[in-house]
Amino acid sequence: MWGSVAIYAVNYVWGTDIWKAALSKNGLTCGHFLEASLYLGAMSNLPMVFYNLYRSYKDKTGKMRNFVECIRPLVPLFLFLAVSLLWAHMSPNRIVEKDPRAV
């Protein structure tokens, strides 16, 4: 949350052009570094999440659900993804070729 507030504050004070400023000779901008740091920050939490899951099942402090019950909330997400990809692939108007950003 604090990171989001900081990004909005930077945009307010210096404008969005600050993210287009080149930081290296390779053409990497502040926006590229910000995006990479967001991805790395999100992925760096995964080992701790898996460790906490392991400890909760080992110490029997969690809800002790089996695998099927754990992934049940993901079923609508995967169904939506499958239907959307099927629609894009089998579209009679060739939506992927005509307007890929719409997909």
What is the residue range of 103's domain? Answer: 65-103
Q: Are residues 45 and 76 in the same domain?
A: no
Q: Are residues 69 and 59 in the same domain?
A: no
Beta-bridge mates of residue 29: 22
C-beta separation of 20 from 29 below 8 A: yes
Q: Are residues 73 and 59 in the same domain?
A: no
Question: Residue 13: what pLDDT?
Answer: 94
The pTM (predicted TM-score) of the whole model is 0.51
Count of domains for the chain: 2
Q: Are residues 97 and 76 in the same domain?
A: yes
Maximum distance among all Cα pairs of the chain, rounded to whole angstroms: 55
Residues sharing a CB contact under 8 Å with residue 55, sequence separation 6 or more, in sequence order: 61
Question: Residue 12: what pLDDT?
Answer: 94
**Coil vs helix vs strand at 25:** coil
Q: How many CA atoms lie within 13 A of 9 on its CB side?
A: 6
Q: Are residues 57 and 69 in the same domain?
A: no
Between CA 1 and CA 7 the distance in angstroms is 10
Q: What are the pLDDT tens digits along the chain (103 aa)?
A: 788 898 899 999 999 898 888 888 888 898 898 889 888 888 888 899 889 988 988 898 988 888 888 889 999 999 999 998 898 888 888 888 888 787 7
Question: Residue 51: what pLDDT?
Answer: 92
